[in-house]
Each structure stands twice: as C-alpha cells, then as structure tokens.
Structure 1
Amino acid sequence: MKLATWNVNSLTVRLSQVEEWIKKAKPDLLLLQETKQENIKFPHEAINALGYKSIHNGQKTYNGVAIISKYELLDIQNNIPGFEDGQKRMIAATVNTNHGKIRIVCVYVPNGQSVDSDKYFYKLDWLKHFTLWLKNEMLSHPDIIIAGDFNIAPQDIDCHDPEAWKNNVLVSKREREAFQKIIDLGFSDSFRAMNPSEIQYSWWDYRMAGFRRNLGMRIDHILTNKNLINKVTMSAIDKEPRKSERPSDHTPVIIEI
C-alpha cells in the first residue's frame, strides 16, 4: 500500500499537477491540504476518472482537506468533534486494506503566524483538542495513520537554519512539545524512522529562491502507530513536483507499507 500527503496550495490552480502525479506515482491513498475550495467545487469527477474515490472538507479561499483513495471511504469525520472551529482543517475515514482496517486522518495544522500572535495560541489550542480527540479515536481504531501539513519541524535537522529560525513559528518549543505529545500517544514519524539522519525538506518558501537554495523545512509528516511502523518499507520525499511551473510551495511525502 502506498500513501502520500501533499499540501497543494490551491487545487484549482494545481489540479493538472495532481492528476499527473497520481498517474505517475499511483498511490493507493493521497491526502491533500490547502485545497482552497468549497465542497461544491471539488473535482470529484476528475478524481473518479482516474479510478479513485474522494471526500473533501473545504471552504472558499482558505484551508481545505481531502482524501483520495482506491479503497471505499467509511465512517467519515469532518473537523474535531467538540471543538468549535469554522476552519476546515481535518478529515478522517476508515479504509479496509490488505493490512486490515486503517483509520486515515488528514490534517492541515494552523501555521501560527508568529509566537506572539493570537494565531499562534489558536494553533496550540487546535493541537491540544486534536490530540485529545486522537487519544479517544485510538480506543476504537487500533491502526491509524495521520498525515498532512503539520506546520512543525520536529527537530533542528528538519530546518535549514535552526539558529536563524530559533523561537519562531514552525520550530518553537511549545509547537515541538505539542507534536511530541502526539508521538507519545504511540505514533512514529515514519520518515525519520526510516531515514534517521537524512536531511530533506518538504516545504520551501517562494521567496528568496528558497527551493533553488534548498532553504527548506520538513513540516509535512506521515505518522503511523507502532504496529504499522513495523510494516513500513519506504518513506521518501518527492521533490519533482516542486520543480513544476507554478508549483505548490510543498511537495509530496510518501510511505509504502
């Protein structure tokens, strides 16, 4: 089974890139973030034409998450239950694979803007409620994969210049602690588990020739529970889509189980 996550930074702009990548990579599951589309605008027909099913939790202009799947998508959950939030940042579904039933959770964690802003505290609050929901979700779903744009570089190795970014969003102590609390529930960062010392990034700023100069961060993650991490055979970052004309500032992250 191949699963990938990709923040596409507007599916309206990059649908053709997503279609091309699906045809080339042939994932069983593709999780998208920042679709920036209302549900009525999501291109289900185009996805169906490629042989996939799809679900979407979106809004106009901002946010939006989707799961594209070869499998039937069951027991769908939009947003974090009990957390009042108008922003569309999470969607979950269960799929029945050769490895049994797996709960798939697609997330687009808030960016946080700056550590002294209201958006930063919203990010921490969102992560707190997400972690509480996830802890409960684990009681009824033994196997879970969480994937998406976490907007957190978990370690200094995941940031091109840790000293320059020190005490900023994406790398701040409180964000990293929140990420670790998810890991502590019983999850593994699949890329780092398979590539302990590899320096690779999944996001590069459009400004300052960030991609050409490799001024990036690894902020897109696929977390698997401990049972599944033992079955992961590959975890990689595909930089090719970032080389496209008018690319997303993120690129796909992939695992194979």
Structure 2
Amino acid sequence: MKIATFNINGIRSRIDALLTWLEREAPDIVCLQELKATDAQFPAAAIENAGYGALWHGQASWNGVAILAKGSQPILSRRGLPGFENDTHSRYIEAAVHGLLIGCLYLPNGNPQPGPKFDYKLEWFERFNAHAAALLKSGHPVVLAGDYNVVPTDEDIYNTRSWLKDALLQPESRAAYARLLAQGWTDALRKKYPEERIYTFWDYFRQHWQTNSGLRIDHILLSKDLAPKLQDAGVDKWVRGEPHASDHAPTWVVLKESRGRKKASEA
C-alpha cells in the first residue's frame, strides 16, 4: 500500500498537476495540505473522476487539508484537534482508510518569530502531540502524514546559514518534534534513509530548486505496529520540476499489505 503526503500549495490552480501525479504514481492514500480553497471550492468531481474518494477541511485563501483514497471513500474520524475547537485554521483531518487511521496535518509555519505566530505554532504542536499520544495508545494502526513545518536536524537542510532565525529550525520546534517521535512513532523517510540528505521542499527563491537547496519538512510517521511493515519510501521529485509547480514534492511510503486485504485496484 502506497501512502503519500503532498502540500499542493493551491489545489484549484494545481489540479491538473495533482491529477497527472495521481495517474502516474497511483498512490492508495493521499494527504493534501494548503488547499487554499473553501469546502465549496474543492474540486471533488475531478478527483472522483480520477478514481479517488475524498474528505476535506477547507478554508478561504489559506490552509486546508484533505484525505484521498483510491477506489474507496474515507470515513471521517475528526476535523480539527481535540481541545482546540476554537482554532479558526483548517489544519487537521482524520479518517479511516483501507484499514488504517490516517491523520493529515498542516502544522503552522510560525514565522515571524518570536511573536504570536510562533506562539501559535508551539501551542498547536503541543495539542497535536497530545492527540498523537492518545492515538498511539488506542492500538489502532495509525499514519500521521503532512507538512510539519519542522526541519528535524541540520542533516535535513542544505545549509542552515540563511535559516537560523526561521521558525522551522528553532530549538523549540525541533524539541516538539523530538518529543513526538519519543512517544514511539517512526519517521518513515529517515528510517529508510538514515544517512542520506533527502529534501521535500525547495522554495521559489535564489534558484533553490535548480541547485537542490532543499529542506525536509514533510514527514510520514508510523505507529509501532506499522513500522515493521515499511518496505519503501521516497520523494517524487519530478513533480517539483514541472511548470507552475508547488514548492513541495509528494513524499510517500510503501507498507506491506496485511494478509487478506486486496489492493484498491483489485477490489
């Protein structure tokens, strides 16, 4: 089973790119972030025609998350984080898909820091970590996939020099991510490639894509029972090289199928 996360950076303007990627790579489950579209503006018909069921949590102009399932309809578990009901940002959606519980997140960027945006980032992170701990204790097979807006270590960025003041690299951000992993989650991409520099994001400035000056901020975390099923992981870098591309590339994992469960294409 192939599970992917992709910050689309505007689903209405990049729907063709999304459909091309879905057709070429055929992931079974997709977590999308930064839809920048209201619920009514979400291109549900186009995604359905591509063979995917979808759930989404939209917001005008900013944020927004969605979960897609090949040949199936995701079953909604929750929209938003528990205990954070007054949050006006659409940043989290959770659903049961193909026998898994999938949490799709778009963690706050936090810039500029210090300031209220960074305070919000840290508060959101703590709420998310608390929910993640509860999910882990539930015993369900869980995948937490999305744009975490955290560069975990200096090995996850081309060079720290221009980013030292950025919220993505602050000690508080990294410490929150480390506490999340310490619960027992496996960072799938880093597990598969423990020594390699792998990037998922290249901003639009200073030829960063052309020079492979990237950051790893899109992560897929696996619960303890799923970690042994990890077969492969990677980044579809070709998507970032397409015209009018998102500044992120899809990040994915392949998990060994449980016995008795057919692939979506066979169902």
TM-score normalised by length of structure 1: 0.95
Residue of structure 2 aligned with 1:140, choices 135, 138, 141: 138
- For 2:154 and 2:216, the matched residues in 1 are separated by 10
How far, CA to CA, are the matches of 1:20 and 1:141 in structure 2? 36
- 5+ residue gaps, structure 2: 256-267
Q: After the TM superposition, list the runs of 4 or more consecutive aligned residues in structure 1 that deviate by more than 3 angstroms.
A: none
Is 1:94 paired with 2:70?
no
Cα distance in structure 1, aligned partners of 2:110 and 2:38? 23
Give the distance between the partners of 2:175 and 2:190, measured in 1 at CA: 17
Query: 1:45, 1:206 → 2: CA distance?
Result: 30
TM-fit CA distance, 1:167: 4.5
- Within a 5 Å distance, the mapping from 1:211-226 to structure 2 comes to 211-226=209-224
* Deviation (angstroms), 1:170: 0.8
The 8 Å contact of residues 153 and 171 in structure 1, kept in 2 or not, is answered as: yes
What's 1:254 paired with? 252
Distance 1:63 1:41 in 2: 13
3-state DSSP of counterpart to 1:69: strand
Aligned to 1:59: 59
- In 1, the alpha carbon distance for the partners of 2:135 and 2:225 equals 16
SS at match of 1:170: helix
| 1:18 aligned partner, one-letter code | L
Q: Equivalent pairs: percent with the same residue?
A: 34
Whether the 8 Å contact between 1:194 and 1:234 is mirrored in structure 2 is yes
User: 8 Å contact 2:147–2:219 — kept in the other structure?
Assistant: yes
CA contact (8 A) 2:184 2:223 kept: yes
Q: Letter of the aligned partner of 1:68 in structure 2? A: L
Q: Which moved more, 1:16-25 or 1:194-203?
A: 194-203
Q: What is the count of residue pairs matched by the alignment?
A: 253
Measure the CA separation in 1 of the matches of 2:17 and 2:28.
Answer: 17
Partner of 1:36: 36
Query: Which whole-Å deviations, capped at 9, do the CAs of 1:35-82 have from their partners, x for residues lacking one?
Result: 101011111111111111000001110000000102331243101122
The alpha-carbon deviation at position 229 of structure 1 amounts to 1.3
Letter aligned with residue 122 of structure 1: Y
SS in 2 for 1:82: coil
Asked whether the equivalents of residues 31 and 106 of structure 1 are also in contact (C-alpha less than 8 Å), the reply is yes
Would the aligned equivalents of 1:72 and 1:95 in 2 still touch at CA under 8 Å? yes
Corresponding residue for 1:80? Answer: 81
Which secondary structure does the structure 2 equivalent of 1:208 belong to? coil
Q: Which ranges in structure 1 are unaligned for 5 or more consecutive residues? A: none
CA distance in structure 1 between the partners assigned to 2:121 and 2:148 by the alignment: 10
Matches of 1:48 and 1:141 in 2, distance apart?
A: 31
Alpha-carbon distance, 1:30 to partner: 0.9
Determine if contact 2:52/2:73 at 8 Å carries over to the other structure: no
Q: Does the 8 Å contact 2:55/2:76 carry over to 1?
A: no
| C-alpha separation in 1, matches of 2:19 and 2:158 | 30
In the alignment, is the contact (CA less than 8 A) between 1:37 and 1:61 conserved in 2? Answer: yes
Q: 1:46 and 1:141, CA in 2 relative to 1: closer, same or farther beyond 3 A?
A: farther
Question: 5 Å matches for 1:105-254?
Answer: 105-254=103-252
2:151 alignment partner, SS class:
coil
Contact 1:158 1:218 in 2 (8 A): yes
Counterpart residue type for residue 33 of structure 1: Q
